[in-house]
Structure 1
Amino acid sequence: MLEIGKKAPEFCLKNQDEVEICLKDLKGKWVVLYFYPKDNTPGCTTEACDFTSELEEFEKLDAVILGVSPDSCESHRKFIEKKNLKITLLCDENREVLKAYGAWGIKKMYGKEYEGVIRSTFLIDPDGNIAFIWPKVRVKGHVEKVKEKLKELQS
């Protein structure tokens, strides 16, 4: 399990345009790294739209928003176009980064257990350390909580 204050696991993943984004290249910035199950599903669409609508606020706070799911880069591109998203989405089709952050595991729905994405968010500080963790995210009001925590940690 990852802990606040520890180094965030390094990663390099392709974004929706198949450009590689690496955590080490974002040193000096705050990173909001959020993991979500699937493009174009209701909760994931709400979360991505909420982050998009607050993107300018996050940019003023020197923060980058990265969404990660096991979807393909093509799926991300279509999702961004369809919903007019302004955030960066990363493709983790082999689930390595999801697993490294503990965002892949056993879930329950209707009494059945299955493996899947555990909706979670990590705030990574400019030195590459984990500043805060939301382990089981409820979408409603989440983006506001992330923004408030970012402001609090910067003050």
Structure 2
Amino acid sequence: MASGPQIGQPAPDFTLPGGTLDDDTFERRDHTLSAARGRAVVLAFYPGDNTAVCTKQLCSYSSGFETFEGLDAEVWGISPQDVDSHESFARGFGLRMPLLADVGRQTARAYGVAAPGIGVRRSVFLIGPDGVLRWKHVALLGATFQSIDTLAEQLSGIRTP
């Protein structure tokens, strides 16, 4: 597994297709990291839609949506499934963050989290408003995930001045 970007380095830019559940509409569009400059972005790589730990993680982040908004941060979920799978997942659990489809795992490789067998390692990257990587956690096994409290603590130190 490649190490990916290091703290203090510019985060690798990417554009991925995805969608966001807004009331009953699943809004499909491309998401480009560099277009989010000016706000912090939490990139949450996860192995798969509708799996036990991934569902618990993304439901947790979705229910804490206001915490992230209060810290002027966006949360993007990224996995190898396609946008149709993401739409079903978002609708099934009322997930409010963009879910992005890294079907070819190019973005996972750029971040050093592509993994044989599972597709991607469960990991979180906090990108500052300036596009620089400020914090990351890459799980070895992926049976647990970083809590909203941990992410909020890390984000509170990188908000836009």
Give the superposition deviation at 1:88.
0.9
* Structure 2 counterparts to residues 135-154 of structure 1, below 5 A: 135-136=138-139, 139=144, 142-154=147-159
Gaps of 5+ in 1: 107-113
Following superposition, which runs of at least 4 residues in structure 1 exceed 6 angstroms of deviation?
none
CA RMSD in angstroms comes to: 1.6
What residue in structure 2 maps to residue 111 of structure 1? none
Identical counterparts, % of pairs: 36
* Structure 2 counterparts to residues 1-155 of structure 1, below 5 A: 1=3, 2-16=5-19, 17-106=27-116, 114=117, 116-136=119-139, 139=144, 142-154=147-159
- Which residue identity does 1:127 align to in structure 2? D
TM-score, normalised by the number of residues in structure 2: 0.86
- Which residue identity does 2:35 align to in structure 1? D
Gaps of 5+ in 2: 20-26
TM-score, normalised by the number of residues in structure 1: 0.89
- 2:28 partner SS: coil
- Tell me, yes or no, if the aligned pair for 1:32 and 1:64 is still in contact at 8 Å: yes
Aligned length: 148
Give the superposition deviation at 1:117.
1.1
Give the superposition deviation at 1:116.
2.6
Rounded to whole Å, the distance in 1 between the matches of 2:47 and 2:145 is 16
- Tell me, yes or no, if the aligned pair for 1:46 and 1:139 is still in contact at 8 Å: no
Rounded to whole Å, the distance in 2 between the matches of 1:125 and 1:96 is 22
Rounded to whole Å, the distance in 1 between the matches of 2:135 and 2:52 is 25
Rounded to whole Å, the distance in 1 between the matches of 2:153 and 2:99 is 22
Give the superposition deviation at 1:152.
3.3
Cα deviation digits, residues 52-93 of structure 1 (max 9, x gap):
011111011110000000001000000000001111110010
Rounded to whole Å, the distance in 1 between the matches of 2:47 and 2:147 is 16
